Chain A
Amino acid sequence: MIPASPAQPTCLMSNSSRKIAVIGIGNPLRKDDGIGIVVLNLLCAHYVKTRCNASLQNRYDYFDFGTSSIDLANKLSGYKRALLVDGINAGLKPGQLKIFGLKETEAQNIKENLSSTHQIDLGQLLSLAKSLKLDTDIYVAGIQVEDISFGTALSKTLSDNTASYVSQISDFLTFL
């Protein structure tokens, strides 16, 4: 049997980067499930087009994490702050964007009411981050999905709102 090695009161992972990780999550082959990837790509293009200030641009690292799972913990560990852009099924109005801190949602019972549509849900991610003593501030830009059946196109509801998502999220990032 493997001898147990009790947790030490230290962070398992160090996060040295002063940058902010912007991470898109989702599967573009499942319609609205890919909204995180679509918005991530639009955000990149938006910053290239509109932000002349190089120091501001350099604040962010962008990652397409697709349908990855536990790997996310490794990536988050390298950053003080991170924003996950993800499709969520939270009982909101289809297409509604909600930006929130992952720690804040603990009181809202996110395991039942807010779940990501991917291999690791937000509740599990929170549990993992806490267990690993990850001190990254994790924020979520969650977009309520309408249709996650198989297909490569977003639903019209979400497709019509992508410019708004980019605007709201980039504003949030500016002040993060």
Chain B
Amino acid sequence: MTKNSNKTKNVKIDVQYLTRVEGHGNIVVDVKNGKLAKCEFQVIESPRFFESMLVGRSIWEAQHITSRICGICACGHSLASVKAGEDALSVTPSDQTVMLRKLLLFAEMMDSHILHIYVLVAPDLLGVKSIFPLIKTHQSMIERALRMKKMSDFAGEVLAGRHIHPITYVIGGLTKLPSKENLEKLYSMMIESRKDAEETVRILKTLHFPEFERPTQYLSLTNDKEYAMYEGSLAVSGEKKLPDKEYRSLLSEKVLGYSSAKVAHINGKPYAVGALSRFNNNFGKLNKKAKAVANELGIKASCNNPYLNTVAQLVEWVHCLEEAIKIMERILKEGLDGKKSVVPSWPKRNETDRKYRSATGVGCVEVPRGTLFHEYTIDESGHITAANCVIPTNQNMANLEEDMRKLVPELIMGTGRRPPAPSEEITLSLEMLARAYDPCISCATHMLDVKFI
């Protein structure tokens, strides 16, 4: 619900259950006499409950539990969990296993990004409420979106044993290697997807994203060898670097009264994670095709318009496809060696007397929405005694609110180039801003319920 009085400059916005985001979130804005009294993005559900579910469970079980946290970033949660488990148990995976993990991350990144671009953001840019009207008016575009999604869904099936909630990626390796037949089919689907990517770039180029600028701190993994997604050091706006295991010394988390999710700060200030942060920090490591796409779409590092996170996602989609194709070509040429990767999901029976030591492990990967941390402490029996999951959406919350605090007065008062916006435009701009961050609040229902009070 929105109330807007031009004379007194009083505005109230109460968006209950923001749509086209994963999970439940509200936007509440209250402007009194032209001053911003309240500006909140309220998360109604919290992943903290999942952390308590891990306590008391075997470290070998953690991946199977955490892969269920999310229907969108399931692979990322699995890999962060597996890395944390390996860190706690001092297990080092083979190079082949790491290569397969990177391939899975690329697939998930493509899967999530294309869903966000076509299903969650495109309706805003085309002036409709959801994907459904577009099925009638833009049939070929929706067909393309589903085709691109099908490729990455199939990648999950082939690589991780299930197109969602992976089961084969475990501590130390994989329980089963993908078959050559399926890999060949996946490879040809990837090659075919190049045409769809080109068309998606052409389409995105024609769409107009809102103009807004607010420089902030950008956090992501960074790596001298590659565009970091699976491993690297932590970088803030391309400068401060420290090992991912030391994340607690960099960022601080706290719980706000009006929201059930934690928020995070660096140096006492909000920061952003996700595609735009990775793009800003690691632009130089993008492959040639992705850089060409960035150039064609007119996005440059460092970009301070959060609405262009969607554009950065498409640049990353192209990067991931080309990197995935390179890995696939290597696999199809050289084959996969089971001895280097295949392990049981749990220790074998003859290892039941395996000795554990009390330890803490951290796993960090880049997932579609940003940098994800899992940290587990285990006891001498290999059971988890403490768990901490730092979710990208939580990290972005304070930054989103800071964006809203700058954007709302600009919309109400107008800027040199833009007249004061009517209530409906303010609401839509805020909804689009929140959606630009691609928030993944939890695995819950989607609802459309915008109320004006």
Contacts and interface: CB of A to CB of B under 8 A. Distances in A.
Interface in A1-49: 1-2, 4-8, 12-13, 27-30
A100 B290 CA distance: 47
B138 A5 contact: yes
A2 B115 CA distance: 18
B262 to A, nearest CB: 16
Contacts of B149: 70-71, 74
A128 B149 CA distance: 15
B68 A27 contact: yes
B53 interface: yes
Given A2-B126, A5-B137, A67 B146 contact: no
B74 interface: yes
Contacts of B207: 1-2
A65 B70 CA distance: 12
Contacts of B71: 27, 66-69, 118-119
Given A12-B143, A132-B135, A70 B443 contact: no
A159 interface: no
B443 A64 contact: no
Contacts of B74: 66
Interface string B150-186: 1001000000001111000000000000000000000
Choose among A4, A30, A127 the residue with the greatest number of B CB atoms under 10 Å from its CB.
A4
A128 B131 CA distance: 9
A64 B165 contact: yes
Given A28-B68, A29-B69, A74-B146, A5 B445 contact: no
- 5 nearest interchain CB pairs? A67-B71, A150-B49, A67-B443, A131-B135, A4-B137
Contacts of A2: 126, 138, 141, 203, 206-207
Choose among A30, A71, A119, A151 the residue with the greatest number of B CB atoms under 10 Å from its CB.
A71
Contacts of B70: 67
Given A119-B22, A119-B446, A131 B136 contact: yes
Contact of A71 (B50, B164, B206): B164
A116 B141 CA distance: 27
Interface string B129-149: 001100111111111001001
A73 interface: yes
B138 A29 contact: no
23 contacts: A1-B206, A2-B206, A2-B207, A4-B137, A5-B141, A6-B137, A7-B135, A66-B164, A69-B71, A69-B446, A70-B115, A70-B131, A73-B146, A74-B150, A119-B22, A119-B444, A121-B445, A127-B132, A131-B136, A132-B142, A132-B146, A150-B52, A152-B53
Interface string B413-453: 00000000000000000000000000000011110000000
B76 to A, nearest CB: 14
B68 A66 contact: yes
Interface of B, secondary structure class, is helix
B44 interface: no
A128 B50 contact: no
Contacts of A99: none
B327 interface: no
B162 A64 contact: yes
A132 B65 CA distance: 34
Nearest to B115: A70
B165 A5 contact: no
Contact of B153 (A5, A74, A119, A120): A74
A127 B446 CA distance: 14
Contacts of B52: 150
A29 B65 contact: yes
Interface in A86-145: 115-121, 124, 127-128, 131-132
A4 B128 CA distance: 13
Contacts of B49: 150
A119 B445 contact: yes
A59 to B, nearest CB: 20
B411 interface: no
B190 to A, nearest CB: 16
B36 interface: no
Contacts of A118: 71, 443-445
B18 to A, nearest CB: 14
Contacts of A4: 137-138
Nearest to A70: B119
